[in-house]
Amino acid sequence: MHRSSRSGFTLIELLVVIAIIAVLIGLLVPAVQKVRDAANRMSSQNNLKQIALACHNFESSKGTLPGYQPAPAGSSVASYGYSVHSFILPFIEQEPLGKTFDPNTQQLFFGSAPSGTFNQALATTAITPIRTFLNPGDGQDPICTVLSGGAPHAGTNYGANIGSGLDANDAVNNPAKSNGTDIRFPSDGLFWSGSKVKISDILDGSSNTLMFAEILRGQNASLTGTPLSALNSFQRQRLYASASAGRSPVPTAPGGLSPALTGAEANTATSWTGNRGGSWIWGQPYTNGFTAAMTPNSTTPDISGHGQGWFTSRSPYSGGVNAALADGSVRFVRDSINLSVWRGMATRMGGEIVQE
């Protein structure tokens, strides 16, 4: 008689195998995430390049770079027109969408935005997400409903350079030049309401001047009575402080607010708005612009009063932001960049020597 022996795993061997598999998965997941992040970053850089080249093609066709468009003549809304993004649709293979509206004849808002009413004839256009305007690394829903005039908007992750954020200089109202940018008036950047900047106007050199940079879309929800200490890191990067109370916009150039905004107010604010990057069609600094008042991914929150203030370039990728320069190239700008250098890159003819 021969006793048959059956081979198999002992309990200890099985536990060892499970442990090995768990270790391999632990090593694999970060590697997969790293590859995914690298692919998303490359895709974002490609989007920025397409946007920059579209602006160049617009200039070749129209004679100037696109600008933020004021509301049509006769409108009660002086500075709530179309965005820079709206004008480059035909140059990013979105010509059919671009033909659904005419910024020269169609009013974007009726009444006083953002409390006014969005033109419902443009509702379908405004809610249409555009892949080139969205960063694949930002997991936020592209549709925003906060302060949108009663109609949802599709957002964007790429802000137009509206300047250093320090150009609203006024000897009486803003002697410290700390008031951000009022796009109703010419800035030291490339884009403002009715701007008609040419590439030849960029005297600092197109390879040294920012055109577009990454921004993070807001959380599509506003908070009231919430101090900065109660916000998590996600919210701090995507919400901006509201500081309109007790202030009036200066009605003449160079604009700004009276009294002027200060960085300390952003750290003591309790009201926060979540429509940053909330629209590609609506021309506002907080919906699709940025300034260089703060370094990329600054820990100081953005702040706004009456649509004016500073709005920082931020990225879902660690260490810095992707930015398109005026020559059409794209580079990764690190958070550690010197603030004066970063601000110099935002001006078109400040005469600064840009050297990291």
Instruction: Give the pLDDT confidence of 12-54 residue by residue, as tens digits.
Output: 878 888 888 888 887 777 766 777 888 899 999 999 999 999 9
* pLDDT at residue number 173: 42
175: confidence class by pLDDT, cuts 50, 70, 90: very low
The letter for the amino acid at 343 is R
CA-angle at 43, arms to 299 and 131, nearest 5°: 95
Give me 245's structure tokens: 């109370």
Q: Are 107 and 117 in contact (CB under 8 A)?
A: no
* Separation CA 107–CA 70 (nearest Å): 10
* pLDDT at residue number 177: 56
> In angstroms, how far is CA 77 from the centroid of its own chain?
23
| DSSP code of residue 9 | -
Whether residue 285 is predicted with pLDDT greater than 80 in this model: the reply is: yes
* Separation CA 34–CA 317 (nearest Å): 11
309: confidence class by pLDDT, cuts 50, 70, 90: confident
Residue whose structure tokens are 């129209």: 62
Q: What is the pTM (predicted TM-score) of this model?
A: 0.87
Three-class SS of residue 90?
A: helix
Reported as half-sphere exposure (CB side, CA atoms, 13 A), residue 346 has a value of 35
* pLDDT at residue number 180: 67
In whole numbers, what is the pLDDT of the chain averaged over residues?
Answer: 86
Three-class SS of residue 93?
A: coil
Determine if residue 124 is left, alpha or beta; phi over 0 gives left, psi from -120 to 50 gives alpha, anything else beta. alpha
Q: Are 304 and 241 in contact (CB under 8 A)?
A: yes
| DSSP code of residue 322 | E
